[in-house]
Amino acid sequence: SAIVELIATHEVSTVHVSASLFNFLLDEYPGCFTGVRQVMTGGEPLSVAHVGKALAEYPGLRLVNGYSPVESMIFTCCHTVEARDAEGSSIPVGRPVANKRVYVLDERLRPVPVGVVGELYMAGVGLARGYVGQPGLTAERFIAHPHGAPGERVYRTGDLVRWRADGILEFLGRADGQVKIRGFRVEPGEVQAVLMKHGSVRQAAVVVREDRPGDKRLAAYLVAEPGTVLDPADVRAHAAASLPEHLRPSSFTILDALPLTPNGKLDRKALPAPEVTASPGGRAPRTAQEKLMCDLFAEVLGLSEVGVDDDFFHLGGHSLLVTRLISRIRAVCDTELSIKTVFEAPTPAGLAERLDGAEKARPVLRRRSRS
C-alpha cells in the first residue's frame, strides 16, 4: 500500500519492483500503474500470465524485463516486453546493456549456434572480483576468459539460455537445479539435505511447484524410516529450526516411496500435487471476527476452508501471501495490521484478537491533476 501511495502522491513515471511484487501489485491493486510510463522488473523469471494482464490493463505501459545475477551488478541484460512475448512459455531476458558482454557456451566453453541451449557466461563492467573468504568457489565460478584477453575473467552463471535468431536471449532454467522464488536464490538440494537430518526421514525430495501462475513454492516429499510414522508438523518444525523462511517448504507430503523413472532417477512428473487442508476436528469460530479471519485465510491461500486454530504458514502461506492477507484485512475490516503481527499470531484466532487494538487503515491516496 505504501508503494501505491508513493506512485499516486509523487506521480511516479518509472517503477522498479521485483517480479513477485509486480505480480502482487497487479493482483491486489487495480489501477496502481495508471499514469506510470515504465515498469522495470526482474529478480526471477516473469510470470507470463501477469505480463499478459499488465499489457491488457495498461496498453501504453513500457514493461522492461531486467536480468542479472548479483555477481554482475545490476542489470546485465534487458528486454522491452512485446505483446507476442505473452504468447510464449517464458519472457525473454533480451540483450546485454552497454559495457557488458555475455556468451552462450557448451561444456567445452565453445560458443553454441543460435537456437541451441548452452550455459550463460558474463564479462564486462560490474563483474565482481569473487566471493569473500571463499577462494574455491571463486575459482569455480570466475574463470579465465576462453575468448578474451590474457588475465580477463568471465562469470559462469549456471543459467541455461539460448539465442533467438533476432539476437534475443531466452532464459530456460538452471544447470544446477538452483531456482529463484520471490527473488531469493534457492537450492532445493540444500533444503533436502536439512530434511534428511530428521531422524525419521529415510528419503526426501524437494521440488518447486507452480500450481497457481506466478506463485512458486517449495514442496517436500518424504519417505519414513521403516517402523516409524512421520508427522509433517514435526518435520516442519525441524526445517524451521535450521532454515530461513524463504527456504522452508510450504507443504510436506508423506509417500510410501519416491517415484522413479526407468533409469532410477526421481520422476518429478509423477509426484502428486500437495494436498493442503485444514486440521480436522478443530473448534468452530466463537466470534464473527474469528469467522471472518477464517474466510480471509481460505481466500488468500486458495482453500475451501480454514480452521480457527490453523497456522497460516502450515497451510502453505509465505511472506508474499502475508502481504496479500494484510491487504484483504485492510479492505474488509478497515484495519491496519503489520507483517510482524501475522508472524507473531499466524492463526485466525490469533489475528482476531489483534484486530481490536489495531490502527484504523490509512486512506488510499488517489492521483489528482496538479493545478
Reading the block at residue 110, the C-alpha cell is 565453445
**pLDDT band, very low/low/confident/very high, at 238 (cuts 50, 70, 90):** very high
Give CA angle at 162 (70, 67), nearest 5°: 25
Q: 3-state class of 83 per DSSP?
A: helix
Distance from the Cα of residue 31 to its chain's centroid: 23
Distance from the Cα of residue 328 to its chain's centroid: 21
257-270: pLDDT as tens digits: 888 877 667 888 89
Examine the pLDDT at 126 and tell me if it is beyond 90: yes
Reading the block at residue 311, the C-alpha cell is 497456522
134-179: pLDDT as tens digits: 999 999 999 999 988 888 999 999 999 999 999 999 998 888 777 7
Cα–Cα distance for residue pair 132/125, rounded to 1 Å: 19
Residue 153 pairs in a beta bridge with: 144
The answer to whether residues 69 and 87 touch, using CB atoms and an 8 Å cutoff, is: no
Q: 3-state class of 98 per DSSP?
A: coil
Q: Give the least confident one: 29-33, 208-212, 310-314.
A: 208-212
Give the pLDDT of residue 331: 87
Reading the block at residue 231, the C-alpha cell is 508427522
**pLDDT band, very low/low/confident/very high, at 280 (cuts 50, 70, 90):** low
Which of 68, 67, 22 lies closest to 49, judged by CA? 22
281: left (phi over 0), alpha (psi -120 to 50) or beta: left
Q: What is the mean pLDDT of the chain?
A: 88
Per residue in 40-68, is it b (16+ CB within 10 Å) or e — as a string? bbbbbbbbbebbbbbbeebeebebbbbbb
Reading the block at residue 53, the C-alpha cell is 494482464
Examine the pLDDT at 369 and tell me if it is beyond 80: no
DSSP-derived secondary structure for 190-207: HHHHHHHTSTTEEEEEEE
Strands of the chain, DSSP E: 14-18, 38-42, 62-67, 77-80, 95-96, 100-105, 118-124, 142-144, 153-163, 169-174, 179-181, 184-186, 201-212, 215-224, 251-254, 335-336, 359-360
Reading the block at residue 96, the C-alpha cell is 546485454
Give the pLDDT of residue 212: 77
β-pairing, 142-144 vs 169-174, is unpaired
Q: How far is CA 175 from CA 75, 110, 120, 144, 243, in A?
A: 21, 16, 10, 20, 23
Distance from the Cα of residue 163 to its chain's centroid: 25
Q: What is the mean pLDDT of residues 38-65?
A: 91
Strands of 300-363, DSSP E: 335-336, 359-360
Reading the block at residue 51, the C-alpha cell is 505480463
Q: What is the mean pLDDT of residues 206-230?
A: 87
Between these two residues, 100 and 262, which has the higher pLDDT value? 100
300-348: pLDDT as tens digits: 988 888 989 988 988 888 888 898 999 999 888 888 888 899 999 999 9
Q: How far is CA 253 from CA 1, 80, 137, 250, in A?
A: 35, 40, 34, 10
Cα–Cα distance for residue pair 262/109, rounded to 1 Å: 32
Give the pLDDT of residue 272: 92
